[in-house]
Chains A and B, each alone.
Chain A
Amino acid sequence: MPRALFEKVGSAAYISHLDLMRLFQRAFKRAGLPLTHTHGFNPRPSVSIALPMSLGMESRCELLDFDLEGEPLSGEKIRIRLNGALIDGVRVLEVYDSGRKLKELSLMDCQLVLEYDSGVPADARERLEALFSQEEVVVEKKGKQGPTPQNIAPLIRSMEISTGEPGELMLQCRICCQNPSLNPTLIAAAITKYLPDYAPDFVRCCRLELYDAEETVFR
Chain B
Amino acid sequence: MTELKQRILPTVQKPARYTGGEWGEVKKDLDTVRVRVAFCFPDTYEIGMSNVGMRILYGVMNEMEGVWCERVFAPWGDMEDAMRQHNLPLWALESQSPVKDFDMIAFTIGYEMAYSNILNMLNLAGVPLRSKDRHDLKNIVFAGGVCAFNPEPLADFIDFFSLGEGEDSTVEIVSLYDQAKAEGWSKDTFLHAVAKIPGVYVPSFYRHEYHEDGTLAAIVPSEGAPEVVTKRIVEDLDKAYFPTKMIVPSTEIVHDRANLEVFRGCIRGCRFCQAGFSCRPVRKKSPEVLYRQAVETLEHSGNNEITISSLSTSDYRELKELTDMLLPYCAQQKINLSVPSLRADNFSRELMEKLQTVRKSGLTFAPEAGTQRLRDVINKNLTEEEILTTCSRAFAGGWNSVKLYFMLGLPTETDEDVLGIAELVYKVIQEWKANAVNKKRGLRVHVATAYFVPKPHTPFQWEKQITPQEYLRRCKLLKSHFYSKSIEYDYHSPDLSRLEAVFARGDRRLGPVLETAVVSGARLDGWDEYFNYAKWFDAFQKCGVDPDFYTVRGYDEEEILPWDTIDVGVTKKFLRLERKRAYAGTVTPDCRHGCAGCGANGLLKEVAYDA
Contact = CB atoms under 8 A, between A and B. Distances in A.
A204 B6 CA distance: 10
Interface stretch (B7-15, B47-55, B426-434): B7-15
B19 A11 contact: yes
B1 A22 contact: no
Given A56-B9, A87-B250, A202-B7, A16 B2 contact: no
Interface stretch (A25-33, A100-108, A209-217): A25-33
A28 to B, nearest CB: 7
B301 interface: yes
**Interface residue range, chain B:** 20 to 34
Interface in A29-62: 29-30, 34, 37, 42-43, 45, 55-56
B304 A12 contact: no
A87 B23 CA distance: 6
Interface string A109-125: 00000010100000000
Interface string A60-92: 000000000000000000000000011111000
Contacts of A87: 21-23, 250
A165 B1 CA distance: 8
Contacts of A26: 23, 248, 301-304
B251 interface: yes
Specify which of A167, A168, A204 lies most central, judged by the most chain B CB atoms within 10 Å of its CB. Answer: A204
B301 A30 contact: yes
B21 A37 contact: no
Contacts of B23: 23, 26-27, 30, 85-87
Contact of A11 (B20, B299, B301): B20
Given A30-B302, A37-B334, A55 B15 contact: yes
Interface in B11-43: 14-16, 18-23
Most central of A14, A43, A88 by chain B CB within 10 Å: A14
A199 to B, nearest CB: 14
A115 B251 CA distance: 29
Interface residues of A, number: 35
A207 to B, nearest CB: 15
B328 to A, nearest CB: 16
B355 to A, nearest CB: 15
B2 A202 contact: yes
Nearest to A24: B302
Q: With a 10 A CB-CB cut-off, give which of A11, A27, A56 has the most chain B CB atoms.
A: A11
Contacts of A16: 14, 16, 251
B1 A12 contact: no
A30 B248 CA distance: 11
A197 interface: no
Given A30-B299, A30-B301, A115 B250 contact: no
B411 to A, nearest CB: 44
A11 B21 contact: yes
B252 interface: yes
Contacts of A43: 334
B300 interface: yes
A19 interface: yes
A95 to B, nearest CB: 18
A56 B9 CA distance: 8
B252 A22 contact: yes
B300 A30 contact: yes
Contacts of A93: none
Contacts of B18: 14
Contact of A12 (B250, B300, B359): B250
A23 B301 CA distance: 10
Contact of A29 (B15, B16, B20, B304): B304
Nearest to B11: A56
A15 interface: yes
B15 A85 contact: no
Interface string B154-186: 000000000000000000000000000000000
Given A15-B250, A202-B2, A85 B19 contact: no
B15 A115 contact: no
Nearest to B334: A37
B2 A204 contact: yes
Contacts of A30: 23, 299-302
A12 B21 contact: yes
Contacts of A168: 1
Contact of B15 (A14, A45, A165): A14
A115 B252 CA distance: 32
Contacts of B302: 25-30, 85
A167 B301 CA distance: 43
B19 A14 contact: yes
Contacts of B252: 18-19, 22
A10 B5 CA distance: 13
A18 B299 CA distance: 22
B334 A19 contact: no
Contacts of B7: 202
B334 A115 contact: no
Contacts of B15: 14, 55-56
Contacts of B1: 115, 117, 165, 167-168, 202
A88 B21 CA distance: 7
B595 to A, nearest CB: 45
A55 B16 CA distance: 9
Contacts of B2: 115, 202, 204
A18 B251 CA distance: 9
B530 to A, nearest CB: 23
Nearest to B252: A19
Given A12-B250, A25-B304, A29-B302, 20 more contacts: A12-B21, A14-B19, A15-B16, A15-B250, A19-B16, A23-B23, A26-B301, A29-B333, A30-B23, A30-B299, A30-B302, A42-B359, A45-B304, A55-B10, A56-B15, A87-B21, A115-B2, A167-B1, A168-B1, A204-B2
15 contacts: A14-B9, A14-B10, A14-B19, A15-B251, A16-B16, A19-B252, A23-B250, A26-B301, A26-B302, A26-B303, A30-B299, A86-B23, A87-B22, A88-B21, A202-B1
7 smallest beta-carbon distances between A and B, as pairs: A26-B302, A56-B10, A29-B302, A11-B19, A30-B302, A14-B15, A14-B16
